[in-house]
A and B are shown apart, each in its own frame.
Chain A
Amino acid sequence: MVALIKHVVLLIAALLAAESALGQGERGLETQIKAAFLYKFGGFVEWPAGAFARADSTFSIGVLGADGVAAELERLVAGRTVHGRAIAVQKLKRGEPLAGLHLLFIGQPEASRLPEILSAAKGQALLIVTETEDALARGSMINFITVDDKVRFDVALPPAERGQLRISSRLLAVARKVITG
Chain B
Amino acid sequence: MNLLATRSVQQKLLAVVLLATLVAVLVAVAAMVAYDLRLYHRSWIADLTTQAELLGRTSAPALTFNDARVAKENLDLLRYRPKMRAAAIYNAKGKLFATFVNNADRELPALPEADGIRIEGDNLIVFKRIVADREILGTVYLQAEYELYDRLLSYLGIAGLVTLAAMLVAYFLSLPLRRVVTRPLLAIAKVAREITEKRNFALRAQKLSQDEIGLLADSFNAMLAEIERATRELEALNRESAREVSVRRRAEEEILRLNTELEQRVRERTAQLEYTNGELEAFCYSVSHDLRAPLRAIDGFSQALVEDCSKELSEEALGYLTRVRSSTERMAQLIEDLLNLSRVSRGELAQQEVDVADLAKRVVADLRHREPKRDIEISIWDGMQAHADARLVRAALENLIGNAWKFTSKAAHPRIEIGALRDGKHSTFFVRDNGAGFDMAYSNKLFGAFQRLHSVNEYQGTGIGLATVQRIVHRHGGRIWADAHPGKGAVFFFTLEPGEAAPAVPRVAEVAS
Contact = CB atoms under 8 A, between A and B. Distances in A.
A, B in one complex = yes
Interface of A: 33, 37, 40, 43-44, 80-81, 150-153, 168, 170-171, 173-174
Interface stretch (B61-69, B194-202, B368-376): B61-69
Contacts of B65: 37, 40, 152-153, 171, 174
B133 A174 contact: no
A81 B134 CA distance: 10
Given A37-B65, A81-B133, A174-B64, 17 more contacts: A37-B64, A40-B65, A43-B133, A44-B61, A80-B133, A150-B66, A152-B67, A153-B65, A170-B58, A170-B60, A170-B61, A171-B65, A173-B58, A173-B61, A173-B62, A173-B70, A174-B67
Contacts of A152: 65, 67
Nearest to A83: B133
Contacts of A81: 133
B132 A43 contact: yes
Nearest to A40: B64
A174 B62 contact: yes
A129 to B, nearest CB: 13
A168 B58 CA distance: 12
A43 B132 CA distance: 10
Interface string B58-93: 101110111100100000000000000000000000
Interface residues of B, number: 11
Contacts of A171: 61, 65
B434 to A, nearest CB: 183
The listed residue with most B CB atoms (<10 A of its CB), out of A33, A81, A170, A171, is A170
Contacts of B62: 173-174
Interface in B96-135: 132-133
A174 B70 contact: yes
29 contacts: A33-B66, A37-B64, A37-B65, A40-B64, A40-B65, A43-B132, A43-B133, A44-B61, A80-B133, A81-B133, A150-B66, A151-B66, A152-B65, A152-B67, A168-B61, A170-B58, A170-B60, A170-B61, A171-B61, A171-B65, A173-B58, A173-B61, A173-B70, A174-B61, A174-B62, A174-B64, A174-B65, A174-B67, A174-B70
Contacts of A33: 66
A33 B67 CA distance: 12
Contacts of B64: 37, 40, 174
B75 to A, nearest CB: 14
A153 B65 CA distance: 9
Nearest to B60: A170
The listed residue with most B CB atoms (<10 A of its CB), out of A37, A80, A174, is A174
Nearest to B63: A174
A151 B132 CA distance: 21
A61 B122 CA distance: 51
The listed residue with most A CB atoms (<10 A of its CB), out of B58, B64, B70, B132, is B64
A37 B62 CA distance: 11
Contacts of B61: 44, 168, 170-171, 173-174
Interface in B117-174: 132-133
Nearest to B57: A170
A81 B132 CA distance: 12
Nearest to A172: B61
Nearest to B70: A174
A81 B70 CA distance: 26
Interface in B27-65: 58, 60-62, 64-65
B10 to A, nearest CB: 75
Contacts of B132: 43
A170 to B, nearest CB: 5
Contacts of A150: 66
A81 B65 CA distance: 18
Contacts of A170: 58, 60-61
A50 to B, nearest CB: 24
Nearest to A80: B133
Interface string B249-279: 0000000000000000000000000000000
A151 B66 CA distance: 8
| Across the A-B interface, the 5 shortest Cβ-Cβ residue pairs | A174-B67, A174-B61, A170-B61, A174-B65, A174-B70
A126 B310 CA distance: 233
A168 B64 CA distance: 14
A39 B66 CA distance: 14
B65 to A, nearest CB: 5
